[in-house]
Amino acid sequence: MDDSVNTRYPILLVHGLFGFDRIGSHHYFHGIKQALNECGASVFVPIISAANDNEARGDQLLKQIHNLRRQVGAQRVNLIGHSQGALTARYVAAIAPELIASVTSVSGPNHGSELADRLRLAFVPGRLGETVAAALTTSFSAFLSALSGHPRLPQNALNALNALTTDGVATFNRQYPQGLPDRWGGMGPAQVNAVHYYSWSGIIKGSRLAESLNLLDPLHNALRVFDSFFTRETRENDGMVGRFSSHLGQVIRSDYPLDHLDTINHMARGSRRRINPVELYIEHAKRLKEAGL
């Protein structure tokens, strides 16, 4: 039996905004949990709101960590968070570091998202447009949770958006600074309060014509449009999060040729010749194991 990534502590994969554990046969972390399990890791996907602020999602995550510890007898857990899931994981590690062995941010907006800033500017607070958009996206989040079998999870898309803007994350970072670099584009401390911090992310590279089957991927094409909304990290983003905005702790790499959804293995097949996202998770689990985590 393969036990190459049999980490000391269980791994929890924490989804981002509009995420879920699974809907039917479709998993948010596509093929990733299965691959890690096959290599000997103990992996769980917690059930948290598809849309809410970082603290609300974090409190849900913390409750499930307590339950998991009772079920499997683990003293601590490794958290791997994608997108907003990184902020959710950071919150838990900040308020309960004794329960967390490591936090890994995958495409996490650790300094905010310029895309969220643009969306926030598009809706005037208190006006009809904001009210309608918030109601629709909150309903969509509830629909996703219902499809995944968890209809009672609280949803608030407006709170989620505010929590992902540059200003919103700056406020969050003042309260929970663990793992953050002290200069833009640098690395943060690799360990704080006995919690290990890591991050990796990608950027959209090259022209559409150079991307083979990604030309046929509507989500990738949408992320290329979102790329044009960035001003600080123009051409250095994954369509939702800027390269340096993603930095946290030990930065493994922040310029993989992957867009925001590629890093959870939602990608056109033609791109697999360049890099396989699933292998990044397996390599990282080996890294955690080697670190005694």
Which residue in 15, 27, 220, 260 is the catalytic one?
Answer: 260
CATH superfamily, domain 11-290, is Alpha/Beta hydrolase fold, catalytic domain (3.40.50.1820)
Residue spans per domain, the chain: 11-290
86/116: higher pLDDT: 86
Which residue in 15, 42, 49, 83 is the catalytic one?
Answer: 83
**pLDDT value of position 165:** 92
Q: What tokens appear for 179 in the block?
A: 């793992």
Which residue in 117, 227, 238, 262 is the catalytic one?
Answer: 238
Catalytic site includes residue 83: yes
Task: Give ∠ CA 243-245-250 in degrees, rounded to 5.
Answer: 85
Most confident segment among 36-45, 149-158, 172-181, 210-219: 172-181
Catalytic site includes residue 53: no
Q: Is it the case that residue 216 has pLDDT exceeding 80?
A: no
Catalytic site includes residue 238: yes
Q: Name the nearest CA neighbour of 113 among 3, 260, 289.
A: 260
Tell me how far apart the alpha carbons of residues 261 and 263 are, in angstroms, rounded to a whole number: 5
User: pTM for this one?
Assistant: 0.91
